[in-house]
Amino acid sequence: MKTYSLYFLLIILFISCSDEDKTLTPSYADINWFELSDSPDELGHMCYEIYKNTNISVFYSDTIGRQFRGIDGYGDSIIHYEIINPQYTIASATSTITYILSYDRNAIRDGIMFLRDKVIPVLSPNTYPRSFLIVENLTLNATSTVANGQREGQVFNGLMTTLVSNISKLSTMSSEDQTRLAKQIASPILQTYLNNTRRDELENFYAVSDNSVTWPADALSTTAYQRLVNSTIPPTNTGYLPYREHWNAYGFLISNPNSPGTLNGGPDVYTKFTTPTQAQDVISFIEAVLTYSETEFQALYENTVGYEFLIEKYRMIKKLLDEVRNNH
């Protein structure tokens, strides 16, 4: 019995010594790649100042960090490069955009100042994006064709970062044009916030256009015809919707930019167009609220067919944005 006890004790000691000999390796899971430190470089220092004051990271390279992770079997350093993916979502990483970075330090400086002085002041702290990535060129719907919506973009709002493009053009823009552009960039950021926090109110917003037409009884039981957003006008089954010659008449400020309308003989008379998606619909009204007072908006659209729907949706978004600003 004593012999077995001695063997058991020796085994325990051997296992303990073996465990102590194992080399612990870091997990690297606790690294905050979005945390910026001050830099002697002018551009790096400008980005740090924004981060210090707002907690927003501004990048002009998609490689946002590097880290030494040991030596490989050949004696070479193992370096990890952290690359931000603007298209990353919880579900997947899609490939709907392409972009080109800028290497013009003057243009990058203009872009950083533009974000600091024009874009960020439009936002309230509770709506700040995690980061901005400044780029020279951005192509939306890059996997499609021009006829099917591929186009140059100004902004792309992703989960990890918001891309801001065409920074080389900022130096030739007036302050008023930059202010207008800043509102275009802020609008999709605010739409994302509202979509995440005010979905019930947005359902009421969508319903204004849905209720701008009288739906036949059989259409109400057909999912494809329960929403006007992202719909081809006139629809294949023309019995479901009254045909109107402009998207304003359904309570939309824009048509779907991925499917531009076909003009028919006169200004604002279309034979075919596609209504905006829900996100595009909200973004267009956010931009309108940021750009026009209610009096100015009324003056622009009061003689437009569909004005009653447009002004109702304008007021709904204005109310939501006012609440967001007051609750930050």
* 266-271 LR contacts (CB < 8 Å, sep 24+): 269/245, 270/233, 270/245, 270/246
Mean per-residue pLDDT over the chain, rounded: 83
Residue 227: DSSP 8-state:
-
Q: What is the mean pLDDT of residues 159-163?
A: 91
How big is the chain, counted in residues? Answer: 328
Percent of the chain with pLDDT over 70: 75
* Residue 157, SS3 per DSSP: strand
Give me the pLDDT at residue 236, please: 58
Given a cut of 50, is residue 20 above it in pLDDT?
A: no
Rg of the chain taking only CA atoms, in angstroms: 27
Nearest-angstrom CA–CA distance, 151 and 165: 13
What is the per-residue pLDDT for 74?
81
pLDDT for residue 3 is more than 70: no
Q: Is the pLDDT of residue 287 over 90?
A: yes
Torsion-angle region of 218 (φ positive above 0: left; ψ -120 to 50: alpha; else: beta): alpha
**192 confidence band (pLDDT: 50, 70, 90):** very high
Top-confidence residue, 218 or 131: 131
Torsional sign, CA 137, 149, 207, 226: negative
Report the range of poorest mean pLDDT among 66-70, 235-239, 249-253, 277-281. 235-239
Any idea what DSSP says for residue 264?
-
Question: What residues have CB less than 8 Å from 210, skipping those under 6 apart?
Answer: 226, 227, 228
- pLDDT 10s digits, 248-269: 999 999 988 877 666 555 555 5
Report the share of the chain in percent with pLDDT over 90. Answer: 52
When mean pLDDT is compared across 87-91, 100-104, 166-170, the lowest value belongs to 87-91
pLDDT score recorded for residue 92? 43
pLDDT of res. 91:
45
